[in-house]
């Protein structure tokens, strides 16, 4: 990508369901996300945090409005183009880790590269695991690791292909306090230091000190 990462959300609305069962998950949202910036999206349950992350991460297309990234406009793209956008430019970290249980930490990372038709030498994979504090754990499978360690494998996997945009949805929710703070610190360090763009959804106020700003959502709108 030639330009610095950015995402512009312009009057975006998103709904689920039809007629009386229709829920407005996002209602005319405007927001800007810049390179080197760590944004936390907070707000009560059902306020639209995951919906916003899904729309800017190319997981869902908005009903109205535009999402314009430094890699081009993604609103209105078809499913295939969105999948290509995500593979090429995005890294995701989810609450439930989403690792392959049958694969070691190193194999989980190699699998993520294979899905992108990329290959890196084993030493690059080991270096990525070292960078998240997992030296010597490359051969372990998820069921041999703690929650914090699994989440750090997920962070390493999300960053391995050097994505411009990194999205995390409640990445610390299933972790103890100490591991949760370490994961937030790590994401901040690895992403922001390299001038990437990090958006993290969380209710957890303890993560606030790591962020450059906190957007607060209510009823599908950004309220502060
Ligand atoms: N797949 C879906 N089908 C129907 N309604 C949905 C779906 N996903 C979200 N919604 C609804 O859209 C609204 C916003 O949901 P969203 O998951 O974005 O909120 P959230 O702030 O992330 O909530 P939480 O903190 O509980 O994860 C809610 O009313 C929710 O019930």
Structural domains for the chain: 6-222 (3.40.50.300)
What CA–CA distance (Å, rounded) separates 157 from 86?
14
> Taking the model in full, what pTM does it have?
0.92
* Each residue's pLDDT tens digit, 141-188: 999 999 999 999 999 999 999 899 999 999 888 888 888 888 888 888
65 exposure class (CB count in 10 Å sphere: 0-12, 13-18, 19+): middle
Q: Which atom of ligand 1 is found nearest the CA of 201?
A: 22
List ligand 1's pocket residues with C-beta within 6 A. Answer: 16-17, 23, 25, 43, 45-51
- What pLDDT, on a 0 to 100 scale, did the predictor assign at position 126? 93
Residues of the chain with pLDDT below 50 are: none
How far, in Å, from the CA of 211 to the mean position of ligand 1?
Answer: 23
- What pLDDT, on a 0 to 100 scale, did the predictor assign at position 12? 97
- What pLDDT, on a 0 to 100 scale, did the predictor assign at position 75? 94
ipTM over 0.90: yes
């Amino acid at each position: 990508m030639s330009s610095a990462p950015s995402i512009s959300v312009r009057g975006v609305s998103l709904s689920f369901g039809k007629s009386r069962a229709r829920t407005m998950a996002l209602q005319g949202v405007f927001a800007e996300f810049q390179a080197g910036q760590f944004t936390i999206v907070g707000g009560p349950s059902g306020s639209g945090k995951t919906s916003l992350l899904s729309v800017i991460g190319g997981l869902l297309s908005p009903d109205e409005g535009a999402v314009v990234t430094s890699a081009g406009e993604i609103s209105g793209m078809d499913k295939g183009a969105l999948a290509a956008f995500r593979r090429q430019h995005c890294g995701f970290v989810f609450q439930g880790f989403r690792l392959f249980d049958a694969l070691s930490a190193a194999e989980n990372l190699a699998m993520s590269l294979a899905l992108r038709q990329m290959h890196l030498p084993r030493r690059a994979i080991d270096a990525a695991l070292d960078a998240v504090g997992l030296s010597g754990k490359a051969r372990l499978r998820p069921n041999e690791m703690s929650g914090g360690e699994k989440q750090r494998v997920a962070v390493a996997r999300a960053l391995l292909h050097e994505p411009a945009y990194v999205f995390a949805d409640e990445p610390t929710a299933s972790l103890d306090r100490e591991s949760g703070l370490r994961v937030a610190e790590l994401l901040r360090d690895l992403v922001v230091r390299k001038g990437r763009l990090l958006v993290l959804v969380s209710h957890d106020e303890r993560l606030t000190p790591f962020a450059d700003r906190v957007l607060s959502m209510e009823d599908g709108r950004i309220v502060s």
